[in-house]
């Protein structure tokens, strides 16, 4: 089945088509963006481009539950911050919940399968963006909020080689926890100390008679510390501007930055600028 999905994607993007289709693909790239869907196998995304998208880094932004891709990619502060720093900003659209279509989310590993394989879908998004805009495949930043952050963790766990780094806020692994991940990551995780929607300590929840269990964020970070090879104490600790941080920088591979803020369930002010700065420190030739 996966081979059929991949074959369909290759056909749609022109990878199995004659070279003459290159002009057609270029026209499609120009046709979609902030207001027009970029259609791919399994769904669509919206995008906003910097002045020079060729060989640029990419940020894939995963919205929270009930979010809309077109809203995320319009000229808001986050999108402007990334595109001004040379990133191609991409917002894929989550799938409707089968029992409540107005709620759009992601098929995270929470013990209950949704119709779409979002690991495969996001891989298709990344591959399409690289071909469509000529971006740098080695500098893909996967970012997300709430359930989108959980999806970012899941994707990084399954396909760490497809992305350069992960920036997540207010969401992590759901239970059952994955026994292991495929490889190390550079992870910047931010969480509100007063978050009651996705509390740091985790919680059991019920939705329309179905039980779920949000994972304890610190236990989830232990999985990343194990796979990165940095299970000891953090290399640095700091308290600044009401942000508490721990950083693991001497991992065998990858790195982890944990930032705790005093807010509830939300994206802290200045978060995207912190992420851009962090990404630039890891990959100093970018941004």
**Could you report the per-residue pLDDT of 87-122, keeping only the tens digit for each?**
999 999 998 776 666 667 899 988 777 788 999 999
Residues 159/123, Cβ–Cβ less than 8 Å:
yes
pTM of the model: 0.87
Residue 17: inside a domain = no
Q: Are 25 and 131 in contact (CB under 8 A)?
A: yes
Number of domains in the chain: 1
Does residue 140 form part of some domain? yes
**Is residue 55 in a domain?**
yes
Mean of the per-residue pLDDT values for the chain? 87
Check pLDDT > 70 for residue 243: yes
List C-alpha distances in Å: 194 to 80, 201, 210, 217, 271.
28, 11, 26, 13, 17
Residue 1 forms part of a structural domain: no
Q: Say what the pLDDT of residue 22 is.
A: 36
Structural domain contains residue 13: no
> Is residue 16 assigned to a domain?
no
User: Where do we find the tokens 């497809």?
Assistant: 162
**From 6-10, 148-152, 281-285, the region with the lowest mean pLDDT:** 6-10
Residues 72-83: tens digit of each pLDDT: 988 689 999 999
Structural domain contains residue 2: no
The enclosing domain of 183 has a CATH number of 3.40.50.1820
Q: Is residue 3 part of a domain?
A: no
pLDDT given for residue 228 in this prediction = 98
Domain that holds residue 125: 32-282
Give CA–CA dist 179/36, Å, rounded. 40
């Amino acid at each position: 089945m996966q081979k059929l999905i991949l074959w369909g994607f290759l056909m749609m993007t022109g990878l199995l088509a004659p070279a003459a289709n290159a002009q057609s693909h270029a026209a499609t790239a120009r046709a979609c963006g902030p207001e027009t869907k970029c259609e791919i196998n399994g769904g669509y995304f919206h995008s906003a481009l910097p002045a020079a998208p060729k060989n640029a880094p990419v940020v894939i932004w995963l919205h929270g539950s009930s979010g809309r891709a077109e809203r995320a990619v319009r000229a808001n502060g986050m999108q402007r911050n990334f595109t001004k720093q040379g990133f191609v900003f991409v917002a894929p659209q989550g799938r409707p919940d089968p029992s409540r279509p107005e709620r759009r989310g992601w098929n995270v590993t929470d013990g209950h399968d949704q119709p779409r394989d979002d690991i495969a879908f996001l891989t298709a998004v990344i591959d399409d963006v690289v071909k469509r805009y000529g971006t740098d495949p080695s500098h893909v930043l996967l970012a997300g909020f709430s359930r989108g952050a959980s999806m970012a963790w899941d994707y990084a766990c399954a396909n760490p080689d497809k992305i350069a780094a992960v920036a997540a806020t207010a969401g992590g692994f759901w239970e059952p926890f994955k026994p292991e991940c495929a490889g190390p990551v550079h992870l910047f995780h931010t969480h509100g100390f007063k978050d009651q929607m996705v509390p740091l300590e985790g919680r059991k929840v019920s939705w329309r008679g179905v039980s779920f269990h949000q994972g304890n964020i610190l236990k989830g970070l232990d999985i990343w510390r194990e796979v990165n090879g940095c299970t000891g104490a953090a290399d640095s600790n700091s308290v600044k501007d009401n942000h508490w941080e721990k950083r693991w920088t001497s991992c065998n591979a990858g790195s982890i930055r944990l930032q705790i803020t005093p807010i509830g369930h939300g994206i802290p002010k200045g978060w995207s600028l912190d992420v851009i700065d962090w990404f630039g420190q890891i990959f100093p030739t970018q941004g």
